[in-house]
Amino acid sequence: MAEGAASQEEQSPETPDSPSPISSFFSGSGSKQLPQAIIIGVKKGGTRALLEFLRVHPDVRAVGAEPHFFDRSYDKGLAWYRDLMPRTLDGQITMEKTPSYFVTREAPARISAMSKDTKLLVVVRDPVTRAVSDYTQTLSKRPDIPSFESLAFRNRSAGLVDRSWSAIQIGLYAEHLERWLRHFPARQMLFVSGERLVRDPAGELGRVQDFLGLKRIISDKHFYFNQTKGFPCLKKAEGSGRPHCLGKTKGRPHPEIDAQVLRQLRDFYRPFNRKFYQMTGHDFGWDG
């Protein structure tokens, strides 16, 4: 795999994975179900924020860590996968998120084989910013990797972008989406704007709750803007009931990238973005 290839998300220590006394009280009841809805991508789009925000809903039960079942552990079988899930009561939705599914060739057919009714959520973000975010994550683990500029191009003066670099490849949303649409009708997919998830989390969560057939419970009242973090945070996290921002690896400063390089990448992505807007019927505003 190319430099900066998909790396497992660092689990934020603040992620409330341990059950609260109240949920432990209920943990004996209910049963484990395969997920009815999955956040399938995209890496660095804002997938952790979406999952953490959705978990506030009393009718959503989600596994915190990324299961990577449909890409790395498919041979373990559906019973193994189901066993990872939290117990649910009637009417509750089981969810998981593994952002690499969106770019995994086998994932659409495999998820459809589990259930063709599975609802799929994709958080998308300007592919240029997403690529820089992806690079920032790799750089934090391996500070000796080459510069962003040198990885992004095969031949920079000729403007030849290196599509095989995973940080670039993941942002070709239209190409990945084509594969999903061979297995799922468009109405079963929801595209969440990563930008709007930061600007107006309650507004984006409204769309998500409607799509999942949930009562609109998560609203503006659940969020506050944390000045220090520079991002919206939860007033009360699921599990702890305390204010909760995402961990240090979410909302990191990005290294400065040459403006000309960013322009070249915007030019490169423009036709793919246009196609993606056409396919989804929504202009995400990345080329404005």
Q: How far is the CB of 77 from ligand A3P (least distance, A)?
A: 27
What is the distance between the alpha carbons of residues 8 and 65, in angstroms, rounded to a whole number?
10
Beta bridge partners of residue 124, listed in sequence order:
193
From residue 246, give the alpha-carbon distance in Å to each of 53, 108, 139, 207.
10, 29, 20, 21
Which H or E element spans position 246? Answer: none
Kindly tell me which of 4 and 46 has the beta carbon lying closer to ligand A3P: 46
Residue 148 lies near ligand A3P (rule: CB under 6 A): no
Nearer of residues 135 and 153 to ligand A3P, judged by Cβ:
135
46 labeled binding residue: yes
Binding mask 33-72 for ligand A3P (x = CB under 6 A): ----------xxxxxxx-----------------------
> Within 208-247, which residues bind ligand A3P (CB under 6 A)?
231-232, 246
* Residue appearing with tokens 């300007």: 126
Q: Residue 198 in 3-state DSSP?
A: helix
Q: How far apart are the first and last CA of the chain?
A: 33
Is 43 annotated in the active site?
Answer: no
Rounded to the nearest 10 degrees, the angle between the axes of helix 259-280 and helix 173-181 is 20
Are 117 and 259 in contact by the 8 Å Cβ rule? The answer is: no
Query: For residue 253, what is the DSSP state?
Result: P
Site for ligand A3P, residues 116 to 135, rule: CB under 6 A: 133
Find out whether 250 is annotated in a ligand binding site: yes
- Sequence-distant (≥ 6) Cβ neighbours of residue 198 within 8 angstroms: 46, 49, 231, 232
**Min separation Cβ 35 and ligand A3P, Å:** 18
CB of 29 to ligand A3P, least distance (A): 31
Return the closest-CA partner of residue 113 out of 69, 143, 146: 69
Q: Total number of residues binding ligand A3P (CB under 6 A)?
A: 19
Select the residue interacting with ligand A3P from 189, 193, 250, 265 (CB under 6 A).
250
Given 32, 43, 44, 141, the catalytic residue: 44
List all residues 6 or more positions away from 275 whose beta carbon is below 8 Å from its beta carbon: 174
| Residue 252 among known ligand-binding residues | yes
Residue given tokens 């019927």 in the structure block:
281
Q: Quick one: which of 252, 263, 270, 282 contacts ligand A3P (CB under 6 A)?
A: 252
Binding string, residues 76-95; x marks residues near ligand A3P by CB under 6 A: --------------------
List, by residue number, the catalytic residues. Answer: 44
| Contact residues: ligand A3P, CB under 6 A | 9, 43-49, 99, 133, 136, 197-198, 231-232, 246, 250-252
Extract the annotated binding site for 3'-phosphoadenylyl sulfate.
44-48, 125, 133, 250-254
